[in-house]
Structure 1
Amino acid sequence: MDETAHALGASRTLWELVDRRAGLTPDRPVLLQGDRTLTFGELRDGAERVAAGLYGMGVRPGSVVAWQLPTRIETVLLSFALARLGAVQSPVIPFYRDREVGFALRESRADFFAVPGTWRGHDHTAMAERLGARGVFEAYGTLPDGDPAVLPPPPADGTAVRWIYWTSGTTSDPKGVLHTDRSLIAGGSCLAHALHLTADDIGSMAFPFAHIGGPDYTVMLLLYGFPAVLFEHFAMDTALPEYRRHGVTVAGGSTAFYSMFLTEQRKAPGQRLVPTLRLLAGGGAPKPPEIYHAVVREMGVQLTHGYGMTEVPMITMGAPDDTAENLATTEGRPPAGMEIRIVDPEGKPVPAGVDGEVRLRGEAVCQGYADPGQAAGVFDAEGFLVTGDVGHLRETGHLVLTGRMKDIIIRKGENISAKEIEDLLHQHPAVADAAVIGLPDQERGERVCAVIERRPGTDDLTPAAMSAFLRGEGLSVHKLPEQLEVVDALPRNDALRKVLKYKLRELYG
């Protein structure tokens, strides 16, 4: 990280970071969307005017403001206006509906709720009224406006809880994850440090700004002073012209996005999909090694992947100058200040190379959950976050994730890693994506079920062909799936397109 970025990373609050960057490069662009451009100076000044308008509506330091808005310049302005006021923000993914939104409003005790009106055919204002939300206002094309002279001083304490982010609720009700300005700055600094970006880069945000990745990415823009292209709703056919038009150098989001890029690249092999693109980067879901090799081989760009979660927005990240083997098979290394501990079932640390549960401690780690009843067992006695992920550290410090505690399938008393089988299935030419789950079985305890998303233009994989392929790749016989399901599309969430395994267990269990 260069000296300027390092100094900016020490900012106490997000507003201080915005103010300092605007002072350094006020006329450089930060957000690009269609024909619109917002500079760092306009971000600061515009956010102050919006903050004054919000203040006139009754928003005060400590007010809880939920917002369910698409990825637009106005959304970023509103978010930083709330950061200027020192309000508590509760971002909600714009695709969520009554159940998830109502839960977030109740759990956060929101005083105000910003919505986009009718967006993509859904009336968010009517839904807010139906849910009994307080202080509902629309913030899509226009935002509150006022004279910044009325504003109180900006917040100075970066360790106060000012953010409530919601987990995806893939197994139960969502959890409200409590973050501070400093934890978000620490997460974004990790991303920025690992990717080795410069002020000449042009990034892109293809995932919802309301996701924890939103501030993660925006902090990186503020540290290095380069812009990103925003996509209100991502679709590859409409996004590609924007990537090319703006000369995007860094793209990605998650494994599903890498696969989408590969699908497009395969339509015109040998021709650069985006001529300026040099790096795909992302996280949020496991990356099969074959995806890495396919991106480098077919697209001619580097791929770096990281490990993060709503509770800790950035834990490790691959670096573009790392070895191909590490980039393909690990999640990268943690930055300074992020402690990773791998423990056995009794909570005792294990040596390098030995699998165990991943635990985390550092500034980027959340402060817990909005519901105290969900806090039991979240942190261990030494203050490490208990993740439920399984993996090991290499001697080099690289982290290898091998699955989730709940993704360890116990078949006739033998532990089987779902991820090991998934990584092998990804190498089959008929497989676009794969999810391996354990299903209840009276004889075995659990049986191994592989759910395959077929690659367009290929024939369905048969159970016999699958078993023969996996055996040919060296998979032990006792790990072979007993059940195979072939689908056109795996169920995914709306943020980073992660596969929803709980839906597969419900469907096939």
Structure 2
Amino acid sequence: MLDAGSLWELIERRAESDPGRELLVDSGGSRMTNGEFRDAALRTAAGLHDHGVRTGTVVSWQLPTWNVGYVLMAALSRLGAIQNPIIPIYRDREVGFIVRQIAPEVVITPSEFGGFDFAAMIARLTEGTGTRHIAADRSLPEGDPAVLPPYQAPGERELRWYFYSSGTTADPKGARHTDTAILAAARGMHECLALTGEDINGMAFPLTHVAGPIWLASSLMAGLSNVLLDRFDPAAAVDLFGREKVTLGGSGTPFHLAYLKAQREFVKTHPGRRAFPSFRLCNGGGAPRPATLHAQIRDEVGGLGVIAGWGLTEAPILTMSTVHDPQSALEDSEGRPMSGVELRVVTLEGKAAEPGEEGELRAKAPQLMLGYVDAALDADAFDADGYFRTGDLGTVDAEGFVRITGRLKDIIIRKGENISAKEIEDLLFTHPRVADVAVVGLPDADRGERVCAVVVGADGAQALEFAEMVAFLKGAGLTTHKLPEQLEVVEGLPRNPTGKVIKRDLVARFRS
């Protein structure tokens, strides 16, 4: 399975070798084996072929995390279309930007989901264009697979995917990807997590994220099953993941925090028992995590703890911890580079960093995008040696373990001094009355920027006061010039579907 050259080839190989093994279960009650999945994808490919979808046709689609979402993904792979999965919570601003930029021939969405009228949105956004809309409400167009032309495997660098970044600071950026990139990331994850056919993956994030096809590919490589939640709800996760004996608790910090909270509630009425008794590990990435989270998951939720990775839409899963890493590395690192990944660390002064020295992480990798949809962005995205500039700050130690220390754009410049938002966030996360936190720089006429801590209080705890926060940070060793000048206590932080805090919203809210 590991040497398949395309996603469709992998689908066919798994269906032939293990047709009766269950591949997908979703919260709507749909269940599919490998063989059923392949056959459904062929019927849908035929149905889309009847709608004019051919090799190279650009198809945007926006479906919840349903089994039929993966069937559509597979069908488009069989047809050789260029597919553009869109996160389901995106609305007119983001979806309008995307469809204007790539001009898809076909857009596929539910008619309605979660109280939102997707059909009306697409009608608004495509009025006066040649784009056609197909409604898919847990069902897809079907036809006779006999109409399909022979499968043509894509070339190693042939465009097959458009994925758009979350746009936490600006308009989304479209990354042009290949099956080669998807499969490279999947192979690395398969190895790092030691995936086997005995595993059952709990999928609580949008399958339209770049990790969606990566998880499908990893699942097919290992022969494991997936349990899909179309909208994350901790109570639903406890019920569904427990009932289906999920072993892999994805998929990032917000989900892991929710599992931890669910376990703490569960143990009140079920002393000594686990809410997720089959968890082998919690795989994750996509967002920073508190320094204490790995140990809390390991000791309370159960299993190996958090096995974390790091990557971007443009270059997914560049590094990942493994099940064999020492606890010290699992606690605060994102693992080591995957096979084929070359990392360099460049200091803010533009010099090659020494082991353990902070700088911008830059990468060359088989999972790296071809480039942006807007080619004008490429010049700034790559350095003179062809390394992708991730924008993430971090260190690589002498053993190769990568630690993310912040974002270049997350450096707050106060009176000419650089302050890392993540450093302050990591300290505040350890306060017993803080459940979540984000630190942002706000415009300030005297200082350039001032440091603002935005805090979500722990359940049932008294709200943190400004003086308490300052005393706590001083006691933790934070130097005076880094202390926040402002504290805001909120009910929750705005996050995108992968868990990253949308800091521009906090800046807009609290700048005055």
**Shorter-chain TM-score: what band?**
over 0.9
1:142 & 1:307 partners in 2: Cα distance? 34
Whether 2:274 is the aligned partner of 1:281: answer no
* Correspondence for 1:3: none
The answer on whether the counterparts of 1:108 and 1:176 sit within 8 Å (CA) in structure 2 is: no
Instruction: Give the secondary structure class of the aligned counterpart of 1:392.
Output: strand
Quick one: which of 130, 134, 138 aligns to 2:135? 138
Distance apart, 1:359 and its partner CA: 0.3
Unaligned residue ranges in structure 1 (runs of 5+): 1-7
The aligned counterpart of 2:245 is 247
Match of 2:152? 155
Secondary structure in structure 2 of the residue aligned to 1:253: coil
User: Does residue 102 of structure 1 match 2:105?
Assistant: no
Partners of 1:372 and 1:296 lie apart in 2 by 44
1:422 maps to 2:422:
no
* 1: CA distance, partners of 2:457 / 2:152: 51
Tell me which amino acid in the other structure corresponds to 1:239.
A
Aligned residues: 501
Partners of 1:448 and 1:110 lie apart in 2 by 42
Give the match for residue 501 of structure 2. Answer: 499
What is the aligned counterpart of 2:65 among 64, 68, 71? 71
Q: Which of 18, 21, 28 does residue 11 from structure 2 map onto? A: 18
CA deviation after TM superposition for structure 1 residue 440, in Å: 2.3
CA drift of 1:411 comes to 2.2
CA displacement at 1:26 relative to structure 2: 1.2
Residue 73 of structure 1 aligns to which amino acid in structure 2?
Answer: N
Residue identity opposite 2:35 in structure 1? G
CA distance in structure 2 between the partners assigned to 1:469 and 1:63 by the alignment: 57
Between the aligned partners of 2:51 and 2:6, the Cα distance in structure 1 is: 24
Shift of 1:379: 1.2
Distance in 1 (alpha carbons) for counterparts of 2:258 and 2:445: 39
Runs of 4+ in structure 1 off by over 6 angstroms are none
SS in 1 for 2:478: coil
Contact 2:157/2:370 (<8 A) preserved: no
| 1:63-116 Cα deviation digits (max 9, x unpaired) | 000101111111111111000010000111111111111111111110001111
**1:376: how far off?**
2.5
User: In the TM superposition, what whole-angstrom CA distance separates every residue of 1:259-308 from its partner, at most 9, and x where no partner exists?
Assistant: 11111111134321111112111100011211122212222322111112
> C-alpha distance in 2, partners of 1:452/1:208?
26
Q: 5 Å matches for 1:169-180?
A: 169-180=167-178
1:390–1:405 contact (8 Å) kept in structure 2: yes
Counterpart of 1:463, as a letter, is: F
Q: Say if 2:281 and 2:306, in contact at 8 Å, map to a contact too.
A: yes
Alignment partner, residue 482 of structure 2: 479
- Which of 434, 438, 445 is the matching residue for 1:435? 438
Which residue of 406, 422, 435 corresponds with 1:403?
406
- The letter for the 1-side match of 2:13 is R
Aligned 8 A contact 1:74 1:140 in 2 = no
Distance across 1 between alignment mates of 2:113 and 2:316: 28
Moved more, 133-142 or 50-59: 133-142
Residues 431-476 of structure 1, C-alpha deviations (whole Å, 9 max, x = no match): 0011111222233332211110111100111111111111222222
Identity of aligned residues (%): 46
- Which deviates further from its counterpart, 115-124 or 269-278? 269-278
Partner of 2:189: 191
One-letter amino acid of the counterpart of residue 312, structure 2: M
Q: Which residue identity is paired with 1:28? A: R
Q: 1:338 aligns with which of 337, 341, 354?
A: 341
Counterpart of 2:235 (choices 231, 237, 242) is 237
* Superposition TM-score, scaled by structure 2 size: 0.95
Residue correspondence of structure 1 range 248-267 to structure 2 within 5 A: 248-267=246-265
Does residue 221 in structure 1 map to residue 219 in structure 2? yes
* In structure 1, C-alpha distance between the alignment counterparts of 2:452 and 2:119, rounded to whole Å: 42
Aligned-pair CA distance for 1:344: 2.4
In structure 1, C-alpha distance between the alignment counterparts of 2:323 and 2:483, rounded to whole Å? 35
What residue is the counterpart of 1:377 in the other structure?
Answer: 380
Q: Is the 8 A contact 2:246 2:278 kept in 1?
A: yes
Q: Is the 2:277–2:302 contact (alpha carbons within 8 Å) kept by the matching residues of 1?
A: no
Would the aligned equivalents of 1:75 and 1:139 in 2 still touch at CA under 8 Å?
no
Deviation digits for residues 229-266 of structure 1 (CA, Å, limit 9, x no counterpart): 01111211122111111100111211111111111111
Give 2:202's aligned residue. 204
Q: Is the 8 A contact 2:251 2:285 kept in 1?
A: yes
The match for 1:293 among 274, 292, 295 is: 295
Most deviating of 376-385 and 387-396:
376-385
The aligned counterpart of 1:352 is: 355
Shift of 1:374: 2.3
- Amino acid in structure 1 at the alignment position of 2:286: G
Task: Look up the equivalent residue of 1:142 and give its one-letter code.
Answer: S
Q: Note if contact 1:288-1:328 (Cα within 8 Å) is conserved in structure 2.
A: no
**What is the TM-score normalised by the length of structure 1?**
0.96
The answer to whether the 8 Å contact 1:236/1:260 transfers is yes
Secondary structure, aligned partner of 1:313: coil
Q: Deviations over 1:405-433 (max 9, x none)?
A: 11112223322211111111111111001
C-alpha deviation, 1:164, in angstroms: 0.4
Matches of 1:83 and 1:207 in 2, distance apart? 21
**Are the aligned partners of 1:112 and 1:136 in contact in 2 as well (CA < 8 Å)?**
yes
Distance of 2:323 and 2:245 partners within structure 1: 19
Rounded to whole Å, the distance in 1 between the matches of 2:415 and 2:165 is 33
Q: Tell whether 2:21 aligns with 1:28.
A: yes
Does the alignment pair 1:80 with 2:74? yes
Is contact 1:75-1:140 (8 Å) kept?
no
Contact 2:276–2:301, Cα closer than 8 Å, also in 1? no
Counterpart of 1:421, as a letter, is I
Counterparts of 1:33-48 in structure 2 under 5 Å?
Answer: 33-34=26-27, 35-48=29-42
CA distance in 2: counterparts of 1:243 and 1:100, whole angstroms: 32
Is the CA contact 1:90–1:108 (under 8 Å) kept in the aligned structure 2? no
1:436-455 → structure 2 map (5 Å cutoff): 436-455=439-458
CA distance in 2 between counterparts of 1:146 and 1:242 reads 33
Distance 2:297 2:67 in 1: 30
Q: Give me the whole-angstrom Cα distance separating, in 2, the residues matched to 1:300 and 1:113.
A: 42
Amino acid at match of 1:223: M
Q: Distance in 2 between matches of 1:26 and 1:159?
A: 30
2: CA distance between counterparts of 1:86 and 1:141?
23
Which shifted more, 388-397 or 156-165? 156-165
Report if the CA contact (8 A) 1:333-1:399 is conserved. Answer: yes
Consecutive unaligned residues in structure 2, runs of 5 or more: none
